[in-house]
Amino acid sequence: MSSSRRITRNSPSKSHSSQKWRSTSPVDSYSDNSSDGTLYEAEILIDDLDEACSITFKLKDHVWVRTQEGNWLRGTVSGTGKEKPLTRHANRTGTYYPVVFGTNSNVRKYFAPLNGEIKPDSEDVRDLLIRDGWLETEEEADKPSWLLSR
């Protein structure tokens, strides 16, 4: 599996969960994995990809980022976060994390969880990406591309 994958938006699914995920404490918001790049397993309190989340990332965490074009891409945190003013909330500051992504991980940009533009690579976030048409289900990935309706 490539460390970065361009996802194109399919038509959104009709099923939307109204139940929010369980909140985590500040201690739990750190990825519980070692710095070997394994998947993030903590839960976050969101039910929409555009929602801001208060979460902390560390070096080599796998994440999903929303690009300026509005696409969601998989990437890897490549350094420590920097505190700067938020783009969505001019009066507040937040932590921006450097993330490498792209075909050969050749693009590096900064993303802030409180802007709603970076999410952990967890099963729950992948479910949201599938629900909103950004990721294919396993069944769709096994079909030849000409069988998929887009």
Tell me the per-residue pLDDT of 9-41, one tens digit each, with 9 for 90 and over. Answer: 544 444 444 444 443 434 333 344 444 444 445
**Where are the chain's structural domains?**
1-6+22-134
Nearest Cα residue to 96 out of 63, 141, 133, 134: 63
User: Who's near 104: CB < 8 A, 6+ residues apart?
Assistant: 4
Distance CA 109, CA 149 (A): 32
Tell me the per-residue pLDDT of 63-83, one tens digit each, with 9 for 90 and over. Answer: 999 999 999 999 999 999 999
Q: Which helix (H) or strand (E) holds 130?
A: helix 123-131
pTM of the model: 0.64
Nearest Cα residue to 45 out of 137, 134, 92, 113: 113
